[in-house]
Amino acid sequence: MIYRAEEVRERFARRGLSFDPTVEEIVRGILAAVREEGDAALDRFSLDLDGHPVEEIPKKAWRQAYEDLDEELRDALETAKERIEAFYREEAKGGFLKADASGLLGQMVRPLSRVGVYVPGGSAPLLSSLLMSVVPAKVAGVAEVIVASPPRVHPGVLAAAWVAGADRLFAMGGAQAIAALAYGTQRVPRVDKIVGPGNAYVVAAKRQVFGTVGLDGLAGPTETLIIADGSASPRLLAADLLAQAEHGPDSEPWLLSPDRALLERVEVELSRQLEGLPRAEIAKRALERGGLVLTQDLEEALELANLYAPEHLCLALADPLPWLGKVQNAGGVFLGEGSPEALGDYIAGPSHVMPTSGTARFQGGLAVRDFLKVIPVMGLAEGAVKELSAKGALLARAEGLEGHARSLDLRR
């Protein structure tokens, strides 16, 4: 079905994360139990929910899983790791220290000490998510990266952990894994920050432990919005929409274009390509959550895209670069139909851990900066202290904080 722009505008504008109160209550109980009972509760929930107790998988098992991989898959993993690492080494992460007549002012930039990376299990083992999270953390200088993935960890995830340089890996999943990482148990050390996507229970747990640990964000269903002009290939557009749709029935694939004939050809292509897709039923349900949208022109398409704030924004245009400056809200931008989002999922370089559900309005994709903290440094000269203290005391008294003012008065 092809929508008109006005039919989706309000839906795009009101997007945001939603939370199931039943899930929230269940997760609250799991977090409380793991926090109070530690490993006993962690094992109990793991057995009940995953059918397997929590275990730390030793590095020799990761190395063996890596060596057992097909040689071409090993090479793909290594290439992905190299490209992700090279991309993030370009990200500035240094501080500064500046001296002038007033003294010293600056910033120290320090990596986090310990980070937890959650890697989902489920129907598709996301070994790429491990690379996309662990490698930027290691580039940032995080001393210890701990991976958590549901029991019966897929060998590809173990091999990816070996390639990425993770430090420890626990077979544990769900809200109980988030609780263990946030609070620590006898076996699982407490981390400073938790990153990585997960199901509704994982997201609810991350939300509830925020403040005890830092978070990369709260992930909702994955989404792609493509803007195309008449130069785009209907066959490639349909393939890119289906690549997004097969993630899950709650995924949202969108195509916006002012070219009705193009949208009609894509509609035909979608039906044709669905026939041979192994996850066709999942993709069909996702296509119903997204759609094809006819806009007046490309300007309106960009306006709607900024309103929607997609995780992935694909500009399938004959000349996409002039439109890049108009992009305000997006997790990641893919220029031209020769740069498909599927490449970004695996091997292009930037992390595929990106904001969803409209949160690209206020946050970006996972990066080196997410694993760093900025510490201001002040060392003022005596003359500057005397000059600034008088004005500082005025501000303190305006706030009713006499103790602050007297502290500054003594410096005058």
pLDDT of residue 123: 67
Which tens digits make up the pLDDT trace of 342-398? 989 898 888 989 999 999 999 999 999 999 999 999 898 988 998 889 989 998 999
pLDDT of residue 190: 97
pLDDT of residue 101: 85
pLDDT of residue 14: 86
To the question of whether residue 345 is assigned a binding role by annotation, the answer is: yes
Alpha carbon of residue 130 to chain centroid: 11
- Tell me which DSSP letter residue 200 carries: H
Q: Do domains 2-17+221-349 and 21-215 have the same CATH topology?
A: yes
To the question of whether residue 329 is assigned a binding role by annotation, the answer is: no
Is the model's pLDDT at 121 over the cut of 90?
no
* Type of residue at 279: R
Catalytic residue among 223, 252, 311, 337: 311
Average pLDDT over residues 91-96: 80
Closest C-alpha among 307, 299, 313, 296 to residue 255: 313
Q: How confident is the model at residue 169 (pLDDT cuts 50, 70, 90)?
A: very high
- pTM confidence score: 0.87
To the question of whether residue 78 is assigned a binding role by annotation, the answer is: no
To the question of whether residue 300 is assigned a binding role by annotation, the answer is: no
Structure tokens at 385: 């202290």
Nearest 5°: phi and psi at 338?
Answer: -80, -5
Find out whether 245 and 253 touch, Cβ atoms under 8 Å.
Answer: yes
Average pLDDT, the chain: 93
Q: How confident is the model at residue 412 (pLDDT cuts 50, 70, 90)?
A: confident
pLDDT of residue 329: 96
To the question of whether residue 176 is assigned a binding role by annotation, the answer is: yes
Structure tokens at 109: 């930039």
2-17+221-349 maps to CATH 3.40.50.1980: yes
Q: How confident is the model at residue 92 (pLDDT cuts 50, 70, 90)?
A: confident
Q: Where are the domains of the chain?
A: 2-17+221-349, 21-215, 382-410
To the question of whether residue 118 is assigned a binding role by annotation, the answer is: yes
Which tens digits make up the pLDDT trace of 40-89? 999 999 999 999 999 999 999 999 999 999 999 999 999 999 999 998 99
| Cα–Cα dist 339/333, whole Å | 9
Alpha carbon of residue 96 to chain centroid: 28
| Cα–Cα dist 297/69, whole Å | 48
Is 352 among the residues known to form the active site? no
Which residues, including other chains, have CB under 8 Å from residue 314's CB and lie 6 or more apart? 224, 225, 226, 227, 240, 333, 334, 337, 339, 340, 341
Is 37 among the residues known to form the active site? no
Average pLDDT over residues 93-105: 86
Q: Looking at the domain 21-215, which fold is it?
A: Rossmann fold (3.40.50)
Which tens digits make up the pLDDT trace of 230-259? 999 999 999 999 999 998 899 999 999 999
Structure tokens at 315: 């500009």
Handedness of CA 154, 155, 157, 158 (dihedral sign): positive
Which tens digits make up the pLDDT trace of 262-284? 999 999 999 999 998 999 999 99
